[in-house]
A and B are shown apart, each in its own frame.
Chain A
Amino acid sequence: MSTGKPRIAALLAAAVLTPGLAACAPSAPTGPGGNASSDAAGQLTGTVTVFAAASLKASFSALADEFEAKNPGATVALSFAGSSDLATQITQGAPADVFASADPRNMAKLADAGLLDGAATNFATNHLQIAVPPSNPAAIASLADLARPGVKVVVCAGQVPCGAATYAVEKAAGVTLAPVSEESSVTDVLGKVASAEADAGLVYVTDVKGSGGKVKGIPFPEAAEAVNTYPIATVGPSRNKELAAAFIAMVTGSEGRKTLADAGFGVP
C-alpha cells in the first residue's frame, strides 16, 4: 500500500505530462498542408487520438497503420463508437485530437459547443443498401419487396442516423415498411441479417462490403435520396494539432480516398 502509492502517483503524473511534453517536443515546421504527413516524415512525434464513427473502423485502422509507418515517431490511438457516443464523450472532456463523424449533426454538436479547431471537412459519403442473407430466402429484388407480407425486415430505429436515412428512402419510394425490429445500431441490423434471422435489412453499402460475404447487397435507386456525409475535424482543445492536421490530411488525401473507396465509401 505505502510503496504502491507514490508509484501510482508517478504513473499518473507521467500520464498527465506526456502529451504536454510531446507537444513541446520539436515538431515539424511545415504547415498542415495537403502533403504535410509525407513532408514531415520522421519529424512528427507524439500520439494523436482519433475518435471515429464505428463504420470507419476498417478504413481508419488501415490508414492509422500507414500513418505510423510513415511517421515512426507518431502513434495513432483510435477509438471507435457511435458518432453520438463519441460526440458526447468529447463534450464531457474526452481527450480527442481528431473527430470523424458519420453525420454532420454530431459534428455540429461539437461546433456548437466551441470544441472544433477550424471547420470540418467532408471526406466520405455512404448510402443505404438492402442486405439479405446470401441465399436470399425471401427473393428480395427491390425496396418494394421489403413491404411484402411475411417478409421479416429489420431496420434502424428513427433515432439513429441509419434510421433517419431509412425513413427518407421509404418516403422517396412511397413504401411503408413494417419491420419486425428497429435496432439501435446498423451493426445490429447487419447481425440479424447475417444470422438469417431476418429476411432483409437496410444497412450502409460499406456494411455489406465489410461483412465479407455474410450478407448480399441489393442496390436500390431510392438510396440516392439519403446520402450520408462524413465530416472530419481537429478537436479544439487538442494538444497535438500538427499531428491531428497531418492525419486529417492523409484521410482527405489520395491515400485516404483510395482506402475509403475500397471500403465502399463514396466521394463527397
Chain B
Amino acid sequence: MGPTNGGGYHGIPPWIYAIAAAGGLLVLLPLAAMAARVNWPQFIPLVTSESSLTALGLSLRTSAASTALCIIFGVPLALVLARARFPGQRLLRAFVLLPLVLPPVVGGIALLYTFGRQGLLGRSLEAAGIQIAFSTTAVVLAQTFVALPFLVVSLEGALRTAGGRYEAVAATLGARPTTVLRRVTVPLVLPGLASGAVLSFARSLGEFGATLTFAGSLEGVTRTLPLEIYLQRETDADAAVALSLVLVAVAVTVVGLTYRRPGEQGRRSAPAGSTDAARPEGAR
C-alpha cells in the first residue's frame, strides 16, 4: 500500500474505472433512490416524533456503551493476536472474527443460549438476581458481539504494521511491560484504535438481527433505531424512510471520519512509525 501510494505509478487501466464506477453505483444508487423517496416537507416532524427520538437516544447510548466494551475487550484480544505466539492462535482469530460473517440472527440465537434465562450463564445470573434478556444490557451485549471484530481487526492490523521495535527499545531501557504498553504501544497505534472504535460504534448503531432475536423490542428499553425503522415500516413508510436516512447520515459521518483519519495520520506518522517499524518486522 505504502510504496504505490507514495510513488508515481498509477497505471490503472481505464476499464477498471468503468467497473469501479458500476460497483460504486451499486451502493450509491439504492441510497439515492431512498433519499428521493423522503417526504421532505414532513421530514422534521417524522424524525422528531417521540418514539423516533427515544429510539435514536437509546441507539446512541447503547452504541457508546458497546464501543467502550469493544475497547476494553478488543485491545487485549488484538494484542494477544498480534504479538503473542501460542498454539491455537489461528483458530482463536477465526472465532473472534466470526461475527463479521455470521448472520446477525445466528448471533442473537447464540447470545440467547448464553445469557438467556435458560442459557449457559443466564441460569446462574438469574439465580443471582441478574436478568439480561429483554433489558438494555442485552442490547449492549448484542451490539458488542457483532462490533468487537471490527475493533480487533483494525487494531491488530495497526499493531502488526507498527511492529515491536520501539517496545523492544523501551524494554531494554528498563520499562515494565505495562508501562511499555501504556507509554509506547498504545500511543503508537492510537489512530488504528480510534478508527476501530469508530467502526465498532457504527456497526453497533446498525445492529438489528441479534438485538431483535436476543433483546426484544420495547420502546425506551430495547427498541433501537433499526428496530424502530423495522416497526414503522409496517404502518408509516414515510417515517421508516426518513429514519433510515437519519441512520445512513449518522453512519456515513461516523465512517467518513475514521477513513480520513488513518490516511492523514498514516501519511504524517509513516516515516516515524509504521513504515520504518514495519521493515524489521517484515525482514524477520
Of the residues B112, B134, B222, B232, contact of A159 by C-beta under 8 Å: B232
Q: Are B134 and A184 in contact (CB under 8 A)?
A: no
Whether a CB of chain A sits under 8 angstroms from the CB of B157 is no
Neighbouring B residues of A197 by C-beta, 8 Å: 112, 116-118, 133-134
Query: What class of interface size applies to chain A in its complex with B?
Result: 20 to 34
> Are A183 and B234 touching (Cβ within 8 A)?
no
Closest to A133 in B: B118
A184 pairs with B217, CB closer than 8 A = yes
CA distance A152 to B212 in the complex (A): 17
Interface contact B217-A195, CB-CB below 8 Å: no
Given contacts A181-B216, A181-B218, are A195 and B118 in contact (CB under 8 A)? Answer: yes
Contacts of A188 in B (CB 8 A): 212-213
1/0 per residue, CB under 8 A from A, across B176-218: the answer is 0000000000000000000000000000000000001101111
- B231 cross-chain contacts in A, Cβ below 8 A: 157, 159-160, 184
Return chain B residues, CB-CB under 8 Å to A157.
217, 231, 234
B227 at the interface (CB under 8 A from A): yes
Cβ-based interface call for A196 (8 A): yes
Q: How far is the CA of A159 from the CA of B222 in the complex (A)?
A: 17
A181 to chain B, nearest CB (A): 3
Q: Are B218 and A195 in contact (CB under 8 A)?
A: no
Residues of B50-66 at the interface with A, using a CB-CB cut-off of 8 Å, are none
Contacts of A191 in B (CB 8 A): 213
Number of interface residues of B (CB under 8 A): 23
Q: CB of B219 within 8 A of chain A?
A: yes
Determine whether the beta carbon of A184 is less than 8 Å from that of B230.
yes
B172 in contact (CB, < 8 A):
no
Report the Cα distance A163→B118, complex, angstroms: 26
Contact A179 B218 (CB under 8 A): yes
Docked Cα-Cα span, A192 to B112, in Å, equals 10
Q: Is the interface of A mostly helix, strand, loop or mixed?
A: loop
Judging by beta carbons under 8 Å apart, are B218 and A182 in contact?
Answer: yes
| Chain A residues within 8 Å of B227, by CB | 184
Check B235 for interface membership: any CB of A closer than 8 A: yes
B234 adjacent to A160 (CB under 8 Å): yes
Report if A181-B116 is in contact (Cβ < 8 Å); known contacts: A152-B134, A197-B133. no
Q: With both chains docked as a complex, state the minimum distance between the C-beta of A123 and any C-beta of chain B, in angstroms.
A: 23
A3–B222 Cα distance when bound, in Å, is 52
* Of A154, A159, A183, A196, the contact of B117 (CB 8 Å cutoff): A196
Report if A259 contacts B (CB, 8 A).
no
A208 to B217, CA, bound (A): 21
Is residue A180 within 8 Å, beta carbon to beta carbon, of the partner chain? yes
A84 in the interface, Cβ–Cβ < 8 Å? Answer: yes
What are 23 sample pairs from A and B whose C-beta atoms fall under 8 A apart?
A82-B234, A84-B234, A88-B237, A154-B134, A157-B217, A157-B231, A159-B234, A160-B231, A179-B218, A181-B215, A181-B222, A182-B218, A182-B223, A183-B216, A183-B217, A184-B234, A188-B213, A191-B213, A192-B216, A195-B118, A196-B117, A197-B116, A198-B134
Show the binding face of A for B, using Cβ within 8 Å: 82, 84, 88, 152, 154, 157, 159-160, 179-184, 188, 191-192, 195-198
